[in-house]
């Protein structure tokens, strides 16, 4: 059963959301800074969920905010901020999955040790000449970008996000979940990856693994992306953030639905169609999704407990009905 509200004219979004989500789910939509849809399956109203790789988009927003303030130069070498980093490349390569550090040998409980993870990456030779190719930095992205944020601000990325964005915007969204919020966490469903298994534990949710362990609700994801569209970032900052960085580059990982990245965000692609070419955001394993569309002024958050979606198989079938309904706003 679907509960919640929609603004007049968005009734078709509610109808499209009324399907089998394989468990609990929430959908929130804002347009031009106002909530136009706040929907959930029965029992999911006040729950928060692991957002998986939607966290990468949250981290990218933090980096662009620092760049806009003049505290972080995305064209500067990583070593300006992180002297121990062993390879010459600009910060922009970390954000756009062009660094040549798509994986490392650490996994499981190793990911709870920030210094061990960042130290390993600082000393690891790239798999290709940075900038000449790309591949999804599934887990390493959060440590790479997060460490630059830590070096710039003097605090970890989760605390920076909490103090500079989450609290001022009134978000129920954390990177590193406070203990008092544990009772609200929705379970992660079947088909778990090793990383998802870690995120079923208190230790995994309390730590900072900012490629994947953002925890919050759909309302907060939509509200954050709505803020980005409505003044949190200047238009010129957003212009640069959304420029494609990987189109035409080779990738060692051949996928049936090729990935596309700007500076920290996923762009429209066959496995994640969003609302079209003016959309930017990030999907997360299991079907999570958060993005904004500059043409329509729409900002969207979708979280769920089911973990069966794999982007290699194409778009999540649960997205398509309500994405189609929202896409009608483009005409």
**248 and 192, same structural domain?**
yes
- Domain extent for 282: 2-55+156-330
The answer to whether residues 201 and 265 touch, using CB atoms and an 8 Å cutoff, is no
Give residue for tokens 């999540």. 316
pLDDT tens for 213-224 read 999 999 999 999
**270 and 214, same structural domain?**
yes
pLDDT tens for 94-124 read 999 999 999 999 999 999 999 999 999 999 9
- Identify which of 326, 275, 330, 288 has the alpha carbon closest to the alpha carbon of residue 15: 326
pLDDT tens for 137-165 read 999 999 999 999 999 999 999 999 999 99
Q: Which of 67-81, 168-182, 305-319 has the lowest mean pLDDT?
A: 305-319
**28 and 63, same structural domain?**
no
**237 and 105, same structural domain?**
no
User: Which residue spans within 45-157 are E strands per DSSP?
Assistant: 49-50
**45 and 62, same structural domain?**
no
Give the domain CATH number at 217. 3.40.710.10
- pLDDT over 90 (residue 329): no
Residue 174 DSSP SS3: strand
Mean pLDDT across the chain: 95
pLDDT tens for 72-102 read 999 999 999 999 999 999 999 999 999 999 9
pLDDT of residue 189: 77
**129 and 69, same structural domain?**
yes
Q: What's the total number of domains in the chain? A: 2
End-of-domain residue from the set 137, 153, 169: 153
Rg over alpha carbons for the chain, rounded to the nearest Å, is 18
Q: What average pLDDT does this structure show over 41-67?
A: 97
Q: Which two tokens stand for residue 28?
A: 């929130």
**46 and 186, same structural domain?**
yes
Q: Which two tokens stand for residue 302?
A: 């979708």
pLDDT of residue 309: 67
pLDDT of residue 269: 92
pLDDT of residue 293: 98
Q: Which two tokens stand for residue 119?
A: 């130290």
End-of-domain residue from the set 107, 130, 153: 153
**62 and 50, same structural domain?**
no
pLDDT tens for 4-45 read 999 999 999 999 999 999 899 999 999 999 999 999 999 999
* C-alpha distances in Å from residue 290, one per residue of 117, 118, 280, 298: 27, 27, 9, 11
Give the global pTM: 0.97
């Amino acid at each position: 059963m679907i509960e919640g509200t929609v603004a007049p004219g968005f009734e078709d979004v509610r109808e499209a959301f009324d399907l089998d989500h394989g468990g609990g789910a929430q959908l929130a939509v804002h347009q031009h800074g106002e909530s136009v849809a706040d929907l959930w399956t029965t029992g999911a109203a006040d729950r928060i969920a692991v957002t998986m790789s939607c966290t990468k988009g949250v981290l990218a927003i933090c980096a662009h905010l620092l760049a806009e303030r003049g505290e972080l130069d995305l064209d500067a070498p990583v070593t300006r901020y992180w002297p121990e980093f062993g390879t010459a490349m600009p910060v922009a390569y970390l954000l756009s999955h062009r660094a040549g550090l798509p994986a490392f040998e650490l996994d499981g409980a190793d990911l709870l040790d920030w210094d061990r993870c960042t130290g390993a990456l600082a000393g690891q030779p790239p798999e290709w000449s940075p900038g000449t190719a790309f591949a999804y930095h599934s887990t390493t992205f959060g440590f790479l970008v997060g460490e630059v944020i830590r070096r710039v601000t003097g605090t970890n990325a989760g605390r920076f996000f909490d103090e500079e964005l989450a609290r001022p915007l009134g978000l129920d969204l954390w990177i590193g979940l406070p203990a008092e919020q544990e009772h609200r966490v929705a379970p992660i469903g079947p088909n778990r990856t090793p990383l998802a298994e870690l995120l079923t534990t208190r230790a995994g949710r309390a730590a900072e693994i900012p490629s994947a362990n953002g925890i919050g609700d759909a309302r907060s994801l939509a509200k954050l992306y709505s803020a980005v569209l409505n003044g949190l970032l200047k238009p010129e900052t957003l212009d640069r953030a959304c420029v494609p960085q990987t189109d035409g580059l080779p990738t060692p990982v051949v996928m049936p639905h090729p990935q596309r990245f700007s500076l920290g965000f996923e762009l429209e692609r066959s496995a994640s169609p969003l609302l079209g070419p003016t959309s930017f955001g990030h999907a997360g394993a299991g079907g999570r999704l958060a993005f904004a569309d500059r043409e329509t002024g729409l900002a969207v958050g979708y979280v769920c407990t089911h973990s069966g979606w794999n982007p290699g198989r194409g778009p999540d079938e649960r997205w398509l009905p309500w994405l189609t309904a929202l896409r009608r706003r483009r005409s």
